[in-house]
Amino acid sequence: MALPVYEMELHGHTFSYRMAGSGPTLVLLHGITCTSETWEEVIPALAKHFTVIAPDLLGHGQSAKPATEYSPGAYAALVRDLLIGLEQTRVTLVGHSFGGGIAMQFSYLFPEMIERLVLVSSGGLGRELHGLLRMAAVPGADVALGWLSSLGLHGLAERGARLLGRTGLRPSTDVREVWRGFGTFADVETRQAFFHTMRTVVDPGGQRATAADRLYLAAHMPTLIVWGERDTIIPVAHAEAAHGAIDGSRLEVFAQTGHFPYIDSPFRFVSVITDFVASTKPARVDAMTVADELRERSTPRPKLHAA
């Protein structure tokens, strides 16, 4: 099913997004190197229950790729502005991988807009990260990747995957989706946006951007955590730790799936999301609620100066 793609001019840049269905608003934020196309298998089923909005984040897909800030906070502000432009001010926010980090930033910065939070194989919950993505933070990686992209290795990998398929040995969804993302790096602007983004959240040792110290704030809204048991990109241990840190959160671990549970198990994913929304009340959180929580947990101390 081909889904309609729309565009909006925002702050002088073009934003591309997919939108379908009617009902409560569900916003799907993809991970790094992906686009809104990654949700195509689940959008039609979700659109039977929700107004589904899936943007191409800035620097990805058909959206603009300017030389600008690509931090999770900057992304969260742009998603807020896109939603306001679409007259959507109350949403359930679903974030996958890097999109999960953006979703958490959004919930901290604009809590009054969030009804529910769904984190899918989310970044920002621990240090561990697959070495392939850590390499993006190594000096010179951008030059090396540009050279590899120019050789057309993405097409070679796809041909190799087809040969494996004929023998019954199919690469995992994780491998296929990573290679699909790699194929976009032939475009210089996309490649530059990727490195700008990765270097705000990753260093050679792993993820350096973390929300672990603020997860208690998510207890103010219904929170669902979805993960693949066999995720080799971000380990499922991050999901278990986040579930323990967010009071009242739900955890769904999909067996036999990896970093993309909504692709590996689309029917279960749709069922879990639909049930979660139907069985929880929309949060009513404002800036004052967050401020009160922060004050309760803050301990001001006078700064001591040496004599």
- Catalytic (active-site) positions: 97, 231, 259
Q: For residue 120, give every residue at least 6 positions away whose Cβ sits within 8 Å of its Cβ, in sequence order, or none.
A: 94, 95, 96, 97, 99, 100, 226, 227, 261, 262
Token pair for 56: 């191409």
175 contacts 154 by C-beta, under 8 angstroms: no
Token pair for 245: 């840190």
How does strand 114-120 pair with strand 223-228?
A: parallel
Within 13 A of 111's CA, how many CA atoms are on the CB side? 18
Cα 136 from chain centre = 18
